[in-house]
Amino acid sequence: MALWGVLTSLCEGFWGLAYLFYPNFGTILSANWYEYPLMNFDLLLCLWLLFRGLRSPNKHLANGQG
């Protein structure tokens, strides 16, 4: 999941720079579309944290794992 976040951030940064350097880039990729991959990552991360949550370090220390 972390790899997905890194890749989508890189793509959004690249597309943002492409809009700055090539004003006609909007004919290739609409400005409304280039944010969707990172938005999906944010939504999945929120759902992951909502349902799975963060693991408590105290729980692992009590089991003798750390």
Structure tokens at 16: 């943002």
For 9-60, the pLDDT digits (tens) are 898 888 888 888 888 877 877 767 778 888 888 899 889 888 887 776 666 5
pLDDT value of position 64: 58
Q: Angle, to 10 degrees, between the axis of helix 2-21 and the axis of helix 36-51?
A: 160
29: which DSSP letter? S
Q: Is 22 in a helix, a strand, or coil? A: coil
Taking the C-alpha atoms of residue 15 and residue 55, their distance in angstroms, rounded to an integer, is 35
Q: The dihedral of CA 32, 36, 34, 29: what is its sign?
A: negative
Is the separation of the CB atoms in 59 and 15 below 8 Å? no
